[in-house]
């Protein structure tokens, strides 16, 4: 079996760092995914269920309230986090989705990234005033793997949306550990070039106990994907995902040329040992962390926000939970 450390060399990391520094400042942000809903039997991919011990039949939709979504958005802004609004399931009418997106954009006083199911050109036109990036949550660019993990969600509508979104920053979200190999890096690069992708999120598979996917990919394996992508596309934005037990890998990802980090459950684990490790890894990689995963003082002015009472109540629950974190 190949030594995992041999997947990445100091020379490759050095070259990736040079490429990164040519286009970007030595900074790093945390990007929080604001999910609008959870499982649904109508449009979820099989992938959502194959990671569990057994398939979920007739899964029910958990729709979040606008109050909950906006309270999370205000919290993220106060902590200095970027956000991506995740519209993964067909549980909202389109006008409801627009209302949510408009409100989150107002919270941030800027356009925000959207991870979404396929949208038509006319729908893209409507969300444009509130949207900076369209991110196709495809899981993989390999059609065979996509067919295996997501048999009821065709890849073609995502490709059509990316083709029609030429006036947006276009992104894709990829999960590593689904059966791809390092040969898939070249396939990913062809996809990026063909579809003019400007941002990519690389996430490690986090399998549930007893699932058919038994192992997460190693840090070195993910680093290889990041470094080669940075060298091939020096100006692309690369966002690397991590998890609770993987915090120490962040420095390696940043040295390989990742811009930002995501996936880590930062609210639940605010000011935890893992959060402190992530911030330290960023410093050790020569990056300035913009915002915080550990300092509740960022929330000191939250009571001064001019928000509706129901949002303030929900927001205070978030803040109370964070201030109790250790």
Closest by CA position to 192, among listed 171, 168, 178, 221: 171
User: What is the pLDDT, as a whole number, of residue 259?
Assistant: 98
Output the six-digit token pair for 225: 């994907």
- Count the domains in the chain: 1
User: What is the pLDDT, as a whole number, of residue 188?
Assistant: 98
Output the six-digit token pair for 185: 């890096």
Quickly list DSSP for 133-152. EEEEEEE-S-HHHHHHH-TT
Q: What's the CATH code of the domain at 267?
A: 3.20.20.70
Answer whether residue 300 shows pLDDT above 70: yes
Task: Tell me the pLDDT tens digit for each residue of 129-176.
Answer: 999 999 998 889 998 888 888 766 788 999 999 999 999 999 999 999
**Cβ neighbours of 132 (radius 10 Å):** 18
pTM over 0.85: yes
Task: Tell me the pLDDT tens digit for each residue of 48-63.
Answer: 433 332 334 445 667 8
Distances (CA, A) of 18 to 36, 113, 188, 201, 227: 38, 27, 22, 21, 11
Produce one character per residue of 68-84: b if its CB has 16 or more CB atoms within 10 Å, e if not. Answer: bbbbbbbbbbbbebbbb
User: In which domain, by residue range, is 62 found?
Assistant: 4-324
The model's confidence at residue 194, banded by pLDDT at 50, 70 and 90, is very high
Helix/strand/coil percentages in the chain, nearest 5: 45, 15, 35
d(CA 83, CA 133): 11
d(CA 190, CA 143): 13
Where are the strands (E) in the chain, listed by range?
27-35, 82-87, 112-116, 131-139, 169-176, 199-204, 237-241, 260-262, 288-290
* Residue, of 88 and 23, whose pLDDT is higher: 23
User: What is the pLDDT, as a whole number, of residue 303?
Assistant: 87
What is the SS3 assignment for 259? coil
């Amino acid at each position: 079996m190949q030594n995992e450390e041999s997947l990445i060399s100091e020379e490759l990391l050095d070259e990736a760092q040079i490429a990164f520094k040519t286009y970007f400042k030595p900074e790093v942000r945390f990007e929080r995914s604001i999910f609008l809903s959870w499982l649904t039997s109508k449009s979820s991919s099989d992938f959502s269920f194959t990671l569990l011990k057994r398939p979920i039949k007739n899964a029910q939709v958990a729709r979040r309230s606008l109050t909950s979504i906006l309270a999370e958005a205000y919290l993220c802004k106060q902590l200095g986090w970027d956000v991506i609004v995740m519209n993964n399931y067909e549980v909202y009418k389109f006008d409801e989705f627009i209302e949510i997106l408009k409100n989150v954009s107002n919270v941030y006083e800027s356009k925000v990234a959207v991870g979404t199911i396929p949208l038509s050109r006319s729908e893209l036109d409507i969300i444009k005033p509130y949207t900076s990036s369209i991110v196709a949550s495809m899981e993989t660019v390999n059609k065979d793997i996509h067919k295996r993990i997501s048999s009821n969600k065709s890849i073609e509508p995502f490709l059509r949306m990316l083709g029609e979104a030429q006036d947006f920053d276009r992104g894709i979200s990829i999960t590593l550990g689904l059966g791809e190999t390092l040969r898939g890096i070249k396939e990913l690069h062809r996809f990026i070039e063909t579809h003019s992708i400007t941002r990519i999120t690389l996430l490690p598979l986090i399998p549930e106990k007893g699932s058919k996917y038994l192992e997460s990919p190693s840090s070195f394996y993910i680093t290889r994907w990041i470094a080669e992508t940075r060298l091939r596309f020096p100006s692309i934005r690369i966002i690397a995902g991590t998890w609770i037990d993987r915090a120490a890998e962040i420095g390696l990802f940043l040295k390989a040329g990742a811009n930002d980090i995501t996936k880590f459950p930062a609210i639940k684990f605010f000011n935890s040992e893992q959060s402190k490790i992530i911030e330290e890894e960023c410093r050790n990689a020569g990056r300035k962390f913009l915002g915080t995963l550990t300092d509740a003082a960022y929330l000191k002015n939250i009571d001064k926000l001019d928000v509706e009472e129901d949002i303030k109540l929900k927001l205070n629950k978030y803040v109370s939970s964070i201030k109790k974190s250790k």
